[in-house]
Amino acid sequence: MSSLSELNQQVALCQQCEIAKFRTKAVPGEGAEDADIMFIGEAPGYHEDQQGRPFVGPAGQFLDRLLASIGLRREQVYIANVIKCRPTGNRDPLPTEINNCRHWLDCQIEIISPKIIVTLGRYSMARYFPGKTISKIHGTAQKHNKVIYFAMYHPAAALHQQSLRQTIEADMLKIPGLLAEAKSIREVEPEAQQLSMFEV
Ligand code: URA
């Protein structure tokens, strides 16, 4: 059994938060264990809770189209969320829930070792771009220890606010260039890197 399937089994048994009592299914994440790109959203919604799979509702359908726009299918990347259970009543995740779930996401990142981490929305952005505002930093990347972190709006934002659709589509198109850069960083630069911010 792969390390990720073992982790998924543990997530399915997790009872650390109150919301675990109300879930239909935990939603650990899915995709390729050796994915170059990992997308991190917020929390499962109704459809994800029903199916135990991330991003399978309307926002997920848009994410699939965004992936297709850069020639990728979801099986080729890894998709996860900051928290693994649906918050009751579709509310925002609580800080305690994010903290309780942090080690699951840490483990996933360690196993997958992605070259690029794409944050989808405010909650995953806060992990890597603390104190920043999504409207200011979406479409920009930050490099740390040979991983590129790239901030995007959450795909659901385009469903609520049509004007963001083109912004999200344009940001997505930057990912192939970042991937090429991430691959070259790993080949060329042997030493750990200083944190640096760069516009793309
Ligand atoms: N929104 C998220 O952030 N994650 C999902 O899995 C679905 C919707």
User: What would the pLDDT profile of 50-101 be if each residue is shown by its tens digit?
Assistant: 999 999 999 999 999 999 999 999 999 999 999 999 999 889 999 999 999 9
Note the pLDDT tens digit of each residue in 165-180: 999 999 999 999 999 9
* Ligand 1 interacting residues, C-beta cut-off 6 A: 41-45, 48, 54-55, 57, 59-60, 81, 156
Residues pairing with 151 in the sheet: 119
Report CA(27)–ligand 1 centroid distance (Å). 10
Q: Counting atoms of ligand 1 from 1, which one is nearest the CA of 155?
A: 1
Q: Which of 1, 11, 31 is nearest to 107 (CA)?
A: 11
Using the predicted structure, report yes or no on whether residue 2 has a pLDDT greater than 90.
Answer: no
Instruction: Read off the DSSP letter of residue 183.
Output: H
Report CA(61)–ligand 1 centroid distance (Å). 11
Q: Counting atoms of ligand 1 from 1, which one is nearest the CA of 41?
A: 3
pTM over 0.85: yes
User: What average pLDDT does the chain have?
Assistant: 94
C-alpha 181/C-alpha 143 separation (Å) is 10
E strand segments, 60-157: 78-81, 116-120, 140-144, 147-152
Using the predicted structure, report yes or no on whether residue 195 has a pLDDT greater than 50.
Answer: no
Give the strand order in the sheet containing 29-31: 29-31, 78-81, 37-41, 116-120, 147-152, 140-144, 196-199
